Amino acid sequence: MRFAAFVVLQILGAGWHRALAPLLWLLDRPSRSPTRLLIAPQDIHTADPTVASDIYAGYFSFGGKIINAHGQSPFDIEPPSVGWDETLHGFGWLRHMRAADTSLARANARALVEDWMSHGQRGRLAWEPRVVARRLLSWLSQSPVILDGADGPFYRRLMKSLGRQTAFLQRRMNNGLVGESRLWAALSLAEMGICADGLPTLQRLGSRMLLEELGRQILTDGGHVSRNPQVLGDLLLDLLPLRQAYAARGAEVPVALLNAIDRMMPMLRMFRHPDGSLALFNGMGVTRPETLATVLAYDDAHAMPLGNAPYSGYQRVEAGEAVLICDMGRPPPPIFSKRSHAGTLSFELSVGGQRLVVNCGSPDPDRRDLSQAARVTAAHSTLTLADMSSSRFAGSHGWVRALDGMVFAPPQAVTVARSDVAEGVWLDALHDGYARLGFAHRRQMWLSHAGTRLSGQDHLVPIAGRPDAAALPFAVRFHLHPLVRAAFAADGTTITIGMPNGDEWLFEAGGLAIEIEESIFFASAEGPRRTEQLVVQGETATLRQVAWSFTQRLETPPPEL
């Protein structure tokens, strides 16, 4: 019944807004406009001045798609993808024009903003709340570029447009906007209230809405409720400048905002591998190392990575040169689960600054066919039963389109225990995502203090009162990073794994047969890459436990003469 009510609210609450989005610029009521902008928040996103040259030449490259406008307004062009369209209307690319620091780039930036105010706002995605929030943040931070050399009429038109977009977000917030979009809308309203003059109540109202959403969406351990590492990085890129904006206005920075940032920093470090990339869980794709380094440079406390994040459902173990990061939590609530994965009890392993075991990660959002494939349990380094995922996803047909991609059948119980012993660190976790098949999945792992051996056991535990299926196939998968190579050793039951730095690791599965199969790595800046996975298969009728290990070969025998 709760799920049915949620369906109705989604269809009624979000459907009509999406249907009328192209007309909202016409239906909008007159709204109060700011009289002037007082400060421009710092934009700490990385910028590339060469992009400004491409835009001036008519080339708009967003989300992996390139369009040559041929002198036409980019807002009149049929967008090649949703991601391209969202980026265009979000105006985040203005930072590249600021980085160019030329009068030509500034004039072009102003012309494109004026172009959008004239007719670009009729775009299908121009009035999606998250896109509006991104546009407000971009215009505020890049206002010195937009307003350089501007005349009075342009300035007034810009203020009027900012007022209209602000009023739109306030109405959507009051009408029940939910999910991540609500947090972004609140963030942009808080920044607008700090930066603009002439909106006397917005500073207090925007700050209050932001703090409320931070309280709802940032968990006690600093993780975001979506459990997506990418969301943390994206939020900090805008929360950190907002913190500075409060100080620049002489306003007291809200304690709740400072506390949220202080909690998020160690959590972001928790996901970080030694090579600078973030672990591939629940929607995480390509990491931009320079952006991540920029965010972490603002960590005044230089906090250590969290080891145990019970509210977010993650574990991190560091030993020697090895880093183990595990997903040992439930999928997020449905409204935050459109990008989450069915990867419960999966893990990633790095050694010596190089990733060894990974998950497949998330491709570009516009690769819809690949995005769904990346979310299934088989795309993660964990166990799959009967070729099914431990969570199920809503489809995209008919009346469920509003729920497309949400997790609606996650594991109901996920437990984890951690202990430090003389030999290393033990993790013992269990989930009931396969309860419908009569089993729970239990995974035990042990990482030695030297970081030279990772041992594990995967159990399929019968659930009392459930029918015991006699012969269900299962597979335990370990996806390898594209830079490592796997080959069978001479005994035929051991796998030798070659690392890029020349180190070797051995994989064994207690004498069971191991297969080397093809896999795909989605989280590469160059696009999806071919890689390999180690697979151990069995049937519940004869086998319900698999023991496995990764061991570093410390001594290499001399070559034969």
Per residue in 317-351, pLDDT (tens digit) is 999 999 999 999 999 998 998 889 999 999 999 99
Dist. CA 154–CA 158, nearest whole Å: 6
| Predicted confidence (pLDDT) at residue 454 exceeds the cutoff of 90 | yes
For residues 47-69, give the mean pLDDT. Answer: 91
| Predicted confidence (pLDDT) at residue 489 exceeds the cutoff of 90 | yes
The pLDDT, as a whole number, for residue 508 is 96
* Tokens linked to 334: 């449905």
| Predicted confidence (pLDDT) at residue 167 exceeds the cutoff of 80 | yes
Per residue in 357-410, pLDDT (tens digit) is 999 999 987 777 788 899 999 999 999 999 999 998 876 444 444 555 676 677
Per residue in 491-537, pLDDT (tens digit) is 888 999 999 999 999 999 999 999 999 999 999 988 899 999 999 99
User: Among all chains, which residue has been given the structure tokens 């920044």?
Assistant: 191
| Domains of the chain (ranges, CATH numbers) | 19-177 (no CATH), 307-554 (2.70.98.70)
| Predicted confidence (pLDDT) at residue 28 exceeds the cutoff of 60 | no
Q: Who's near 413: CB < 8 A, 6+ residues apart?
A: 430, 431, 432
* Tokens linked to 327: 């997903």
User: Are the C-beta atoms of residues 438 and 463 closer than 8 Å to each other?
Assistant: yes
The pLDDT, as a whole number, for residue 124 is 81
In this prediction, residue 199 has a pLDDT band, given cuts at 50, 70 and 90, of confident
* Tokens linked to 514: 């191991």
Kindly report the backbone phi and psi dihedral angles of residue 384, in degrees, each rounded to the nearest multiple of 5, phi listed first: -120, 145
| Predicted confidence (pLDDT) at residue 11 exceeds the cutoff of 80 | no
Q: Which alpha helices (H) appear in 249-326, and where do they start and end? A: 255-270, 289-297
